[in-house]
Amino acid sequence: MNEKIIRLPFFQNMLNLLVLAVLAVLCVFPILHTLALSLSSATAASSGRVTIWPVEFTLQSYQFVLENPAFGKSFLISIARVLVGVPVNMALTILVAYPLSRSKREFRARDIFAWFFLITVLFSGGLIPWYMVIKQTGLIDSFWALIIPGALPVFNVILVANAFKSIPKELEEAAAMDGADHWTILFKILLPMSLPVLATVTLFVAVGHWNAWFDGLILMNSPAKYPLQSYLQTVIVSPDPRMLSERDLALLKIISNRTTRAAQIFIAMIPILIVYPFLQRYFTTGIKLGSVKG
């Protein structure tokens, strides 16, 4: 479309740009404000002088946070969770997506398995039975509780299976003629050809692991085993003295301070900000796959 042909009338155009600019500012403002708070002095913050620029600049809050071993530990648990969880999720996703992307002629039980997985999206036992099963399998208080129960993200299987289906059949047929088996077709043809989709799904899974807090909160008995977001939930969002050890309580006095709270929030945001440019790049690919499929 030639955008130059007709524009909005001048006044409407200006109004349009203004509203969009305001929306954009509203989206970044709370984040900039948090950053500014974290870099301001405690007195400046509590006297309400900070908006989006640090007042009485200091790195003290960050120093407090980084010197707190509980924060550092939960940060590392979250990193470990991403590093272990993402490969596990991706491996299972790909291994399930391949059989489900075959034709019924190639894999007669395809529909049975598709429904087997799909039903788990449609219906679940609910919170308590889910918790009991994880307890029965001995995962409570174990790092693996954060990885194994959610190891197969069914929605991602659908995305990847659809990507596999969209690759021209002729390629696989030619490979099969040359004697390629299922594993060869998957690893040598389908995976290399679906890299954009796999990249999208990988990033989404990584962000999901980084942001997960609920499982850590209820599956770990001691806060020392919390991933970062669960830790932040207990110290920032709903400080619950019953959940904390005495040393944590002493720390809480310092870390519930407004500027250190902001510093912790901002540090937790940093990994997301780092992958954000990549998220954007692959973003539309992922969305298009998720929406209408002809």
What is the nearest approach in angstroms of another protein to the Cβ of residue 272?
A: 5
The CA distance from 159 to 269, in Å, is 27
Is 26 or 177 the residue whose CB approaches another protein more closely? 26
189 binds another protein (CB under 8 A): no
14 binds another protein (CB under 8 A): no
What is the nearest approach in angstroms of another protein to the Cβ of residue 284?
A: 6
125 binds another protein (CB under 8 A): yes
The CA distance from 261 to 30, in Å, is 14
Which of 60, 84, 131, 175 is close enough to bind another protein by CB under 8 A?
131
Which of 14, 20, 76, 171 is close enough to bind another protein by CB under 8 A?
20
214 binds another protein (CB under 8 A): yes
Which stretch, 58-66, 95-103, 166-174, 194-202, contacts another protein (CB under 8 A)? Answer: 95-103
Q: Comparing C-alpha atoms, which of 39, 156, 179, 172 is closest to residue 91?
A: 156
Q: Comparing C-alpha atoms, which of 86, 28, 88, 33 is closest to residue 212?
A: 86
254-293 positions binding another protein, by CB under 8 A? 258, 261-262, 264-265, 268-269, 272, 276, 279-280, 283-284, 287-288, 291-293
Are the C-beta atoms of residues 190 and 37 closer than 8 Å to each other? no
Q: Which residue type is seen at 287?
A: I
The CA distance from 6 to 199, in Å, is 39
Q: What is the CA radius of gyration of the chain?
A: 24
